[in-house]
Amino acid sequence: MEDRTELSALGEFGLIERLTKDNKAVNDSTVLSVGDDCAVLDYKEKQILVSTDAMAEGVHFDMVYTPLKHLGYKAAVSNFSDIYAMNGRPKQITVSLSVSNRYSVEALEELYSGIRLACEKYGVDLVGGDTTSSAGGMFISITVLGEGNKGKIVTRNTAGENDLICVTGDLGGAYAGLLVLQREKAEWKANPAVQPALDDYDYVLERQLKPEAGKWLIDFFEKNGIVPTSMIDISDGLASEILHICHNSRKGCEIYMERLPIDYQTSRTLEEFKIAAETGALNGGEDYELLFTVAQKDYEKIKDCKDIHIIGYIKEENAGCKLITPQNTAIDIKAQGWNHYKKQ
Amino acid sequence: MEDRTELSALGEFGLIERLTKDNKAVNDSTVLSVGDDCAVLDYKEKQILVSTDAMAEGVHFDMVYTPLKHLGYKAAVSNFSDIYAMNGRPKQITVSLSVSNRYSVEALEELYSGIRLACEKYGVDLVGGDTTSSAGGMFISITVLGEGNKGKIVTRNTAGENDLICVTGDLGGAYAGLLVLQREKAEWKANPAVQPALDDYDYVLERQLKPEAGKWLIDFFEKNGIVPTSMIDISDGLASEILHICHNSRKGCEIYMERLPIDYQTSRTLEEFKIAAETGALNGGEDYELLFTVAQKDYEKIKDCKDIHIIGYIKEENAGCKLITPQNTAIDIKAQGWNHYKKQ
């Protein structure tokens, strides 16, 4: 009898780890391979960053409420985010697309117009790709290449004890937007004559449907002479990402619950769904904000930036990874991240 | 009423052309973008090549007769082939995978073992990727990065009049192998107790299931100081590829039918299916041989290589693209290439 492990038993990260565990680099130009937001390739003057992200219909997006242009925009931006998360700058992308013939050429042009819009906004070139038919559904995979300066590329395994833990923007909005869209879809299914009630949700819907990547932060770092000690983008939720940083850096952390940046509309929307705002901020994915750590000496340089929030500190490994409540209770941080294989 | 063009009306190449027609490069490092086997990126000392290829279940492969290890091997090798087709050397790949949960972890490990085997054989590093679930079917997209020397990267738009047209290895084998596998599948469906009759088809089956890429040719060029005037890999059939070279170079050509290199087993197998060997050689895809042109002055350097076949000459554009029969009749070459959107 053959061994059989269900995909759901490992989850996405476990699966990637398992599939790549014997992966060894043979080329001098391969400086960093699987295991971070990007691979780093060394071609002398600059270092090249490359990253691939895949999105599947019915898993990452639902055609009922995702305009194709937004889908293209988001697919591109979420890839750029991986390059920024290394303190690099995206330069080129390739797009791989599989679609059934229920899509028209115009529909795919819509999708590409979103990709192009993102490329224009972030100064990225679309340099290749492949489009093929599928037996069903749409699948988009984008590979992004970027460049970073030697010695200034930031990975997730180099956080130091007592470093400040920082996050950009605000959290949980994309998740709140998704909940609204799912609710409207359910109501529309029950009664197609009903108009979707999407007023008052503009911010969270935009966070879900048209996220932006953290280019401004890389500009800010450059201008102010800051190199973070570690960085990651928030695609699977803050809890999951801080655990990546701590686990890879062999450190612990303390995150202060009242420091979590949450927009008022996000908080109000989550409340409608009986979800605590902090839970949404910790576990909601797809915000594409950046989570990073800086040395204490850089505090003066970041303290006045209104879009950077200091939410905690890196601790020694034995301290564990803790969320500190306003009542000063320490709770273990657990990743509630998405497991695509379980959802079905 | 919205315009609606069916995907089948354009076909793969038309679709790519349409989707990327407004695509402009903004970065100095983007030397060559969409429209050849690879994009060329300039990072000073070397130029980087990047290419993406997608394969979908039910379109590019059939799980009934495709062992997963072979599938992984072929997916990787067909990507390497794109880099060799630019006179470059593949160095890194990223793998993007979408699979339904009817696949087990072991099945995906099998797939990855094939990818790794190809990487080891060709000296390539697997540097990243993404794996996600799908609503149904498997989809694999691989992006490959490679390097080439400045001034020696070979595109498909630079063939010169009177250049020799050359092809490596032999043609039509992968197509013959596919026909055998499809026949056995049909017989197995009709009577599952029957054992597949695959003896005597070892070569064509290997051509279909485990193709190789033209690394040896790039080594040969380097050793002998040859830079071809144009080059492309044969993934969609010789006829389709020579038309790409001629169209992009604004030239015509003459191809001599009796010069087409065809293996005996390929010829015998195609005969069983009542297909003329030359038809299979011209239109059968997936051989991953290299089609290139060299200046007449390089004739001496290539004439003794048994795996390089001179099959014709580049002509002026007005001469058209002709196949010359043994009876000296000139027939227009037409691309019978695959149109995935029509097959369904």
- Taking only the tens place, the pLDDT of each residue in B154-168 is 888 899 999 999 999
Q: Quick check: B70 pLDDT over 60? A: yes
Q: Do B131 and A15 touch (CB under 8 A)?
A: yes
Same domain, yes or no: A109 and A183: no
Torsion over CA: B324, B325, B326, B327 (sign) = negative
Alpha-carbon distance A95 to B302, whole Å? Answer: 37
Confidence of residue B108 (pLDDT cuts 50, 70, 90): confident
Give pLDDT, residue A254.
Answer: 97
Q: Is residue B319 one of the residues assigned to a domain?
A: yes
**Which 3 state secondary structure label does DSSP give A187?**
helix
Q: Which domain holds residue B281?
A: 164-339
A61 and A202 both lie in a single domain = no
* Distant-in-sequence, close-in-space partners of B35: CB < 8 Å, separation ≥ 6: B20, B248
pLDDT at position A137 is 80
How many other C-beta atoms are found inside a 10 Å radius of the C-beta of residue B178?
20
Identify from B6, B15, B105, B109 which residue to disrupt to test chain A contact, counting A C-beta atoms within 10 A and taking the largest count: B105
Q: What is the pLDDT of residue A8?
A: 55
Q: Tell me what ipTM this predicted complex has.
A: 0.81
Report residue B150 CA to chain centroid gap. 24
The answer to whether residues A115 and A171 belong to one domain is no
Q: In the predicted model, is pLDDT for residue A330 greater than 90?
A: yes
pLDDT at B42: 56
| A86: its two tokens | 């290394």
A30-33, Cβ contacts within 8 angstroms, sequence gap of 24 or more: A30/B91, A30/B92, A30/B125, A30/B127, A32/A155, A33/B125, A33/B126, A33/B127, A33/B128
> What average pLDDT does this structure show over A280-299?
95
Q: Which pLDDT score is estimated for A174?
A: 95
Of A106, A124, A148, the position where a domain reaches its end is A148
Of A5, A23, A104, the CB nearest to B5: A104
Mean pLDDT of all residues in A72-89:
92
Instruction: Decide if B33 and A3 are in contact by the 8 Å CB cutoff.
Output: no
Measured at the CA of A235, the angle between CA A233 and CA A237, to 5 degrees, comes to 100
Q: Is the pLDDT of residue A1 over 50?
A: no
The per-residue pLDDT of chain B, averaged, comes to: 84
Q: What is the pLDDT of residue A208?
A: 93
At A293, is the secondary structure helix, strand, or coil? strand
In sequence order, the 6+-apart residues with CB closer than 8 A to the CB of A326 are A257, A258
The partner residue sitting opposite B125, judged by closest CB among A27, A97, A143, is A27
Residue A291, burial from CB neighbour count under 10 angstroms (0-12, 13-18, 19+): buried
Please list every residue in chain A whose beta carbon sits closer than 8 Å to the beta carbon of residue B29: 91-92, 147
CA angle A138, A50, A106 (to 5 degrees): 30
B211 and B319 in a single domain? The answer is yes
Residue A344's pLDDT is what? 28
Residues of chain A above pLDDT 70, percent: 84
How would residue A94 be classed by pLDDT, with cut points 50, 70 and 90? confident
Task: Say if the Cβ atoms of A96 and B52 lie within 8 Å.
Answer: yes
B124 and B174 inside one domain: no
3-state DSSP assignment of residue B40:
strand
**How high is the pLDDT of residue B242?**
95
Query: How much is the mean pLDDT over chain A?
Result: 84
B57, B123, B132 member nearest A56 (Cβ): B132
Judged by CB atoms closer than 8 Å, whether chains meet at B136 and A132 is answered as: no
| B341 or B112, which is more confident | B112
Give Cα separations from A173 to A141, A207, B207 (angstroms).
24, 6, 52
Determine whether the interchain pair A43/B147 forms a contact, defined as Cβ–Cβ distance below 8 Å.
yes
Q: How many CB atoms lie within 10 A of CB B190?
A: 8
Alpha-carbon distance of B100 to B51, in angstroms, equals: 26
Question: What are B269-286's pLDDT values in tens digits?
Answer: 999 999 999 999 999 989
- Whether A128 and A173 map to the same domain: the answer is no
DSSP category for residue A257:
G
Q: What does R_g of chain A's alpha carbons equal in angstroms?
A: 20
pLDDT tens column, A206-242: 999 999 999 999 999 999 999 999 999 998 899 999 9
Beta bridge partners of B102: none
| 3-class DSSP state of B8 | helix
Contact A101 B7 (CB under 8 A): yes
The residue of chain B with its CA nearest to that of A117 is B23
pLDDT at A46: 66
Beta-carbon separation of B54 and A98 below 8 A: yes
Name every chain B residue with its beta carbon within 8 A of the beta carbon of A143. 50, 52, 94, 96, 143
Nearest CA in chain A to B29: A91
> pLDDT higher for A38 or A243?
A243
Q: What is the pLDDT of residues B31-64, one digit of tens each?
A: 444 443 434 455 566 677 778 888 888 778 888 7
| pLDDT level of residue A197 (50, 70, 90 thresholds) | confident
**CB-defined contacts A:B, below 8 A:** 297
Same domain? B322 vs B201: yes
Angle, CA B334 vertex, CA B158 and CA B139 arms, to 5°:
80
Measured between CB atoms, which of B39, B94, B340 is closest to A132? B340
> How long, in residues, is chain A?
344
Distance from CA of A259 to the nearest CA of B (A): 32
The Cα B166–Cα B163 span in angstroms is 9
Does residue B159 belong to any structural domain of this protein? no
Q: A7: pLDDT confidence band, cut at 50, 70 and 90?
A: low
Q: Which of B44-53, B177-186, B316-325 has the highest average model confidence (pLDDT)?
A: B316-325
Sign of CA dihedral A42, A45, A46, A48: negative
Asked whether residue B178 falls in the same domain as residue B325, the answer is: yes
Residue A119 resides in a domain: yes
Residue A153 lies in a domain: no
Q: Which residues of A13-24 are buried (b: 16+ CB within 10 A; e: fewer)?
A: eebbeebbeebe
Q: Say if B213 falls within a structural domain.
A: yes
Instruction: Say whether B27 and A92 touch across the interface (CB within 8 A).
Output: yes
Task: Please identify, among B148, B173, B192, the residue that sits at the C-terminal boundary of a domain.
Answer: B148
Q: Which chain B residue is nearest to residue A108, measuring alpha carbons?
A: B19
- Residue B243 counted as domain residue: yes
Name the residue with higher pLDDT: B36 or A303: A303
pLDDT of amino acid A65: 80
A51 and B94 within 8 Å at the Cβ level: the answer is yes
Same domain for B271 and B329?
yes
Neighbouring C-beta atoms of residue A135, cutoff 10 Å: 17
Beta strands at B251-256 and B308-316: parallel, antiparallel or unpaired: antiparallel
**B260-273 pLDDT per residue, tens:** 999 999 999 999 99
Asked whether the beta carbons of residue A136 and residue B136 sit closer than 8 angstroms, the reply is yes
Question: Which residue of B lies nearest to A53 if distances are taken between CA atoms?
Answer: B130
Confidence (pLDDT) at A192: 82
A202 and A329 share a domain?
yes
Strands B46-56 and B139-148, bridge-based pairing: antiparallel
Q: Tell whether A155 is covered by a domain.
A: no
Domain CATH code at residue B128? 3.30.1330.10
Residue B111 above 80 pLDDT? yes
Where does the pLDDT of residue A9 fall: very low under 50, low under 70, confident under 90, or very high at 90 and above? low
Q: Report the pLDDT value the prediction gives residue B31, as an integer from 0 to 100.
A: 44
Verify whether the Cβ–Cβ distance B50 to A18 is below 8 Å.
Answer: no
Chain A residues inside the 8 Å CB shell of B22: 116
A36 has pLDDT over 60 = no
DSSP secondary structure of A18-60: HHTTT----STTEEE-SSSSSEEEEETTEEEEEEEEEEEBTTT
Q: Tokens 């050793």 — which residue? A: B223
* Residue A201, domain member (yes or no): yes
- Amino acid A300 reads E
Tell me the Ramachandran region of residue B251: left when phi exceeds 0, alpha when psi lies from -120 to 50, beta otherwise.
beta
pTM across the whole model: 0.85
Q: At which residue do the structure tokens 């007769």 appear?
A: B65
Nearest CA in chain B to A33: B127
B-chain residues near A133 (CB < 8 A): 7, 56, 59, 340-341, 343-344
CATH number, position B268: 3.90.650.10
pLDDT at B224: 95
Region A104-132: mean pLDDT is: 81
Angle value at C-alpha A28, between A26 and A34, nearest 5 degrees: 60
* Rounded Cα distance, B290 and B235, in Å: 9
Pick from B33, B96, B106: which is nearest to A4 by CB? Answer: B106
User: A187 and A65: one domain?
Assistant: no
Do B143 and B107 share a structural domain? yes
Per-residue pLDDT band for A112 (boundaries 50, 70, 90) equals confident
Across the range B16-39, mean pLDDT stands at: 48
Cα(A47)–Cα(B4) distance, integer angstroms = 44
**Residue with tokens 């699977």, as numbered in its chain:** A236
Residue B272's pLDDT is 95
**Would the CB atoms of A106 and B139 count as touching at under 8 Å?**
no
Query: Does the pLDDT value for residue B18 go beyond 60?
Result: no
The total domain count for chain A is: 2
Residue at which a domain ends, from A148, A181, A204? A148
In this complex, do B91 and A29 lie within 8 Å of one another by their Cβ atoms? yes
Under 8 Å between Cβ of A322 and A252: yes
- Phi, psi at B310, each rounded to 5°: -85, 115
Instruction: With H, G, I as helix, E, B as strand and everything else as coil, classify residue B222.
Output: helix
Residue found under tokens 């690394």: B215
pLDDT score of B1: 46
